[in-house]
Chain A
C-alpha cells in the first residue's frame, strides 16, 4: 500500500509546521515533488502504476529507520525509530497487527486512531507524522516520540517527589488537550495516567485514540463500555448510551485525585464494586441530586439504609488538602455525579485554581522519571545538542511540596 506522496507529504509538513520546533520541517526535501505523483494504481500488482505507488510508499517508509522494540500491546507493536536523514530525530513507530489467518479488515481501534490523529494538531495531543505500510500489509503510524514515560510512572515511583505546582502544570496540559478534543467534537473516552505521555521537554500529551469517537448526533446511541474502570464516570457504569464530554471530565477528575493522592482514588475490582466505591466516596446518586439517574438502563437502586449524602466542599478539602481550597473546588466540579452539573472542559480551564498560588511549574522544571526512560530521554536531549541538567535542579526542589513557585 502506499501512502501516496502528495498529501502525506503535505500533511506531515503541515503538522510539523504547526508544532513549534518540530524536527521534521527540514525534512520535506526528501519527498518527491508533487508533479511526480499522479496516477498510481490499486489492486493490480502487475500494473506499472502499482510500482509507482509502491515506490512512493517506500519513500515515506525510507524516511524512517526502525530501531528496537519499545513495547507490544494487544493490537500493535511500538518501535523506536528515527529519521534516516537525522539520527537524532526520534519517532515512535506503531505497527498495527493484522490477523494473518483471518483478514477481517482493520480494527475499529486502528481506524479511530488514524482518523482522529490525522485531524488533530495540538501541543497536548500526540502528533501523527506519517503513515506508511510495510510489505506484510501492516499499517505503520509514525508518532511523535515521547521518551519520558507517562504520568502513571511518575505517580507510582516513590523516588519522585512532586508538589501542588507540578500537579497544576500536568493538569493544565491535560485540560488543554481534552478541551481541544471536545472543541473539535471528539470524545477521547480513555483518559487515564498511562495514556498521558510525557515529551522530552516535559509537555504532557494525550495519546491512544483507539476508543475516541465523534460526538454522536442527538438521540443516537453510543456504547457505555468505554473508559478504563477506575476512571469511568457513574453515568457509563449505569449504562447511559447518550453522553457528552462530561465523561472525559470525570476521568480528568480521577487523574487529578490520583496525582494528589498517588494512588487511584476509587479503584473498584468490578463494575459493581466501582459503583459502590464511587457512592461511598462522593455520595449516593438519587433523583434529588441527579434527576433521571434511576431511569438509566443499568441503574442499581441504592440500599435505603445506606445512603451516603452528597459530599460537599469540606470533604474534598479534607481528602485533598494539597489541592488547597480552590483546587478542592475544581476537583469537586469535575467529580460531580450528575454529568449535567459537572464542569465542561472549557469551564475547567476557566477555573480560578489556575490563577491561584502556587503557579504551575514550568514544564522544563517538572520532575522527571529516573531510570531507563530517563536515560533515553537524556540521550535524546543530548543528541539534540542541549545539555540536560534540569534533573539536578529538581533534586533541590524535591521537598518543596506545595510551596509557591515562580
Chain B
C-alpha cells in the first residue's frame, strides 16, 4: 500500500474497459495472424491458473512468511500474498502491451514475481528465484540470471515504471469490523480475491469493488465449511446452488426474506456508494472463471506453451 488509489497511476492508466481490452487483444491477433493460427493457446484464465503454480510453491510460503507474525496478525495477511498479487497484475499489464506469442511467458511470470517481491519489500535473491522457477520449468528458464535482469528492465519499462498496485485485501480488512464478518467469511473472501487475479478483473475494476464482491460472495454463498483452498469446485457449486436459494428467498414476496445477516449486508451496500452494477459484473466474471476452471488441464497448457516457446526459440 502506498499513495492514494484515487490519484494513483493504477486508476489513471491501468484501468481498462472491457471493450478496450478486447480491442487490444484483437489488434494483437490482426497483427500476427500467422502466429495465432499456428500456436493456439488455451483460454487466458487457464494459462493464469497454469502459471500460478509458481506462486503456490510451498517453498515460497516457508521462505517468505514468518509464521509467528502471521499468528500475531490473526489473519492470513502477509507480504508474500501482496507480492504474489502484485506479480499477477504485472503480468496482466505486460500482456496488454505485448503479444504473448512473442514472449517467453515462463520468463515473464518469473520476472514479475522477482520484481513484485522487491516492490512489496520482501526482496528475494535473483538466484533463488531463478532456481525455484527452474525447479518447476527446467526446460523454459535459462540458468543465466542475467536473462531475468534484462527481462526485469523490460517489464519496468513496459509498465512505464508505474509499479504501485492497490489490492482489495486492504479494503477487506478494513470492512471486516464494520460488517462484523466472521473469520470464515474473511477467509473465503480472501480466497475469492486470490482467485480474481486469474481473471481480467484487476484491469477492469477498482480494488474496493472487488473487495465488496468478495464479501458478498463469502456472506451470501456461505462457505460450505469444507476446505475451499486449491480447488474451485466447492465454491463454484456453492455459488450455483446457494445462489439459487438466495435468489429464490429474495424473490419470495411475503416470505421470510433473506436471513438478517444478508439483509444487513444488503442495507450497507444500498447506503454505500459502491457501484452495484460493477459488483454484479465481477461476480459473474468469477462464476465464469469457476466454470472455465473445470476444463483446466495442466498437461494441455504445458503442451501448447511448450510447442510455442520451443518452435519460436523464445527461451533462448
Contacts and interface: CB of A to CB of B under 8 A. Distances in A.
Interface of A: 1-4, 6-8, 10-11, 14, 37-44, 47, 49, 53, 57, 103-106, 108, 111, 114-116, 118-121, 131-133, 137, 139, 183-186, 213-222
Contacts of B3: 116, 119-120, 184-186
Contacts of A132: 157
Contact of A43 (B4, B14, B32, B107): B107
A119 B161 contact: no
B2 interface: yes
A243 to B, nearest CB: 14
A115 B150 contact: no
Interface in B145-167: 145-146, 148-164
B152 A106 contact: yes
Interface string B2-37: 111001110011100000000010011001100000
A116 B163 CA distance: 9
B44 interface: no
Given A57-B157, A119-B8, A214-B2, A11 B162 contact: yes
B264 interface: no
Nearest to A50: B102
Given A11-B162, A38-B31, A139-B156, A105 B114 contact: yes
Contact of B12 (A10, A184, A217): A10
Nearest to B312: A44
Contact of A116 (B2, B28, B97): B2
B152 A114 contact: no
Residue among A43, A57, A105 facing the most chain B CB atoms (10 A cut-off): A105
Contacts of B152: 105-106
Given A4-B160, A184-B4, A219 B99 contact: no
A137 B154 CA distance: 9
B314 A220 contact: no
Contacts of B31: 38-39, 49
Given A185-B2, A214-B1, A219-B73, A49 B158 contact: no
Interface residues on B, range: 35 or more
A136 B155 CA distance: 16
A7 B13 contact: yes
A111 B13 contact: no
B291 to A, nearest CB: 29
A163 to B, nearest CB: 36
6 contacts: A4-B158, A41-B98, A104-B126, A106-B153, A131-B157, A220-B79
Interface stretch (B115-123, B183-191, B219-227): B115-123
A219 B97 contact: no
B158 A2 contact: yes
Contacts of B27: 38-39
B108 interface: yes
B103 interface: yes
A103 B119 contact: no
Contacts of A38: 24, 27-28, 31
Given A7-B162, A118-B164, A103 B9 contact: no
Given A133-B157, A216-B121, A119 B9 contact: yes
Given A11-B13, A105-B114, A120-B3, A43 B73 contact: no
B88 interface: no
Report whether over half of chain A's contact residues are helix, strand or loop; otherwise say mixed: loop
Given A104-B149, A119-B3, A185-B1, A114 B98 contact: no
A131 B121 contact: no
A222 B69 CA distance: 13
Nearest first, the 6 A-B pairs at minimum CB distance are A103-B149, A1-B157, A214-B2, A119-B3, A7-B160, A103-B146
Contacts of A4: 97, 157-158, 160
A14 B12 contact: yes
B157 A49 contact: no
B145 A184 contact: no
B160 A131 contact: yes
B94 A42 contact: yes
B283 interface: no
B126 A105 contact: yes
B104 interface: yes
B277 interface: no
B108 to A, nearest CB: 7
B93 to A, nearest CB: 10
Contacts of A108: 118, 123
B2 A111 contact: no
A11 B24 CA distance: 20
A8 B121 CA distance: 25
B151 A3 contact: no
Contact of A8 (B102, B119, B155, B160): B160
Contacts of A44: 102-103, 312, 314
Contacts of B8: 119
Contacts of B123: 108
A43 B8 CA distance: 28
Interface string B189-225: 0000000000000000000000000000000000000
B64 to A, nearest CB: 12
Contacts of A118: 9, 160-164
Given A1-B157, A118-B9, A105 B148 contact: yes
B289 interface: no
A117 to B, nearest CB: 9
Nearest to B10: A119
B253 interface: no
Interface string B218-241: 000000000000000000000000
B77 interface: yes
B314 A43 contact: yes
Given A7-B13, A43-B314, A57-B157, A215 B104 contact: no
B72 interface: yes
A41 B99 contact: yes
Contacts of A104: 126, 145, 149
B164 A119 contact: yes
B118 A1 contact: no
A282 B79 CA distance: 37
Interface string B262-296: 00000000000000000000000000000000000
Contacts of B126: 104-105
